[in-house]
């Protein structure tokens, strides 16, 4: 299955760390974080790889466009203007396969990716979301589930209460592009909530290591935690 990654974020919360380097190319354990994500996807049997780049996208293209990993080709599409995560996906419409995986390029969710592709929800769907459980959702957006159906997204859960949140890994049908309005559009804020209201999103909770390198404290933690996880 084709594996696309959203690698266009500005990394503004990282300040000077991401001033001249795309956030996904920042080193983690001595290697660019994006390299680790691509190798993990290929190792799980995914490919080809499609990188959806934006801010400093030419740096991503210089490193990855036209390369291969274990025989799996990598292509980079650089958006011409900031389009949001939904807009970046729409800009690559002619390169997307009918069903494809999509992941955020600034986080690592360490569950078995094949379990999401094998998950067959009841009823129609345009997207399948990998979800994870937090013990305290006071600082996170929360996903409401009814069986395997995503019913709503809430901006924040209750402090001190457990809940289910978006893990940033999806399997999508290309028809999802027909449900998007004009860019800029956010998958998380615009597209997914609308699809949930129409009953077209499925979700399953998975266990596994998770880290997002988008803030300085977590980026610092990633330097030791990510290599340790990848070593098993």
- pLDDT, tens only, 120-136: 999 999 999 999 999 98
| Nearest by Cα to 162 from 145, 182, 179, 183 | 145
Higher pLDDT, 122 or 98: 98
Q: Which of the 8 DSSP states describes residue 61?
A: H
CA atoms within 13 A on the CB side of 157: 20
Higher pLDDT, 177 or 232: 177
- pLDDT, tens only, 88-97: 999 999 999 9
Percent of all residues in the chain with a pLDDT value above 90, rounded to a whole number: 85
Q: How far is CA 102 from CA 20, 149, 159, 206, in A?
A: 25, 19, 30, 16
- pLDDT, tens only, 179-209: 888 888 899 999 999 999 999 999 999 999 9
- pLDDT at 137 > cutoff 90: no
- pLDDT, tens only, 12-42: 999 999 999 999 999 999 999 999 999 999 9
pLDDT for the residue 156: 79
The CA-based angle 195-198-201, given to 5 degrees, is 50
Fold (topology level) of 3-231: Spore Coat Polysaccharide Biosynthesis Protein SpsA; Chain A (3.90.550)
List, in order, residues 6 or more apart from 182 with CB less than 8 Å away: none
Angle at which helices 33-43 and 57-64 pack, to 10 degrees? 50
Query: Are 60 and 53 contacting, i.e. CB atoms less than 8 angstroms apart?
Result: yes
- pLDDT at 232 > cutoff 90: no
pTM of the model: 0.95
Sorted by where each begins, the domain ranges of the chain are: 3-231
- State how far the Cα of 169 lies from the Cα of 107, in Å rounded to an integer: 9
């Amino acid at each position: 299955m084709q594996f696309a990654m959203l690698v266009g974020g500005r990394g503004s919360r990282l300040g000077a760390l991401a001033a001249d380097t795309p956030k996904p190319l920042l080193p983690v354990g001595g290697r660019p974080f994006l390299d680790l994500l691509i190798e993990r996807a290929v190792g799980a049997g995914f490919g080809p790889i499609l990188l959806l780049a934006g801010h400093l996208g030419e740096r991503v293209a210089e490193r990855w466009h036209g390369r291969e990993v274990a025989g799996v080709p990598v292509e980079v599409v650089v958006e011409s203007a900031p389009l949001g995560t939904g807009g970046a996906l729409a800009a690559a419409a002619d390169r997307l396969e009918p069903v494809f995986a999509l992941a955020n390029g600034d986080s690592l969710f360490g569950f078995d990716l094949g379990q999401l592709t094998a998950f067959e929800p009841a009823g129609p769907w345009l997207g399948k979301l990998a979800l994870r459980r937090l013990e305290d959702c006071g600082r996170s957006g929360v996903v409401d589930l009814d069986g395997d159906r995503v019913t709503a997204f809430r901006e924040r859960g209750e402090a001190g209460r457990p809940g289910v949140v978006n893990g940033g890994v999806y399997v999508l049908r290309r028809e999802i592009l027909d449900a998007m309005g004009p860019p800029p559009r956010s998958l998380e804020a615009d597209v997914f909530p609308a699809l949930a209201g129409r009953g077209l999103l499925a979700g399953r909770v998975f266990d596994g290591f998770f880290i997002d390198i988008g803030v300085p404290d977590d980026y610092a933690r990633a330097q030791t935690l990510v290599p340790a996880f990848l070593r098993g």
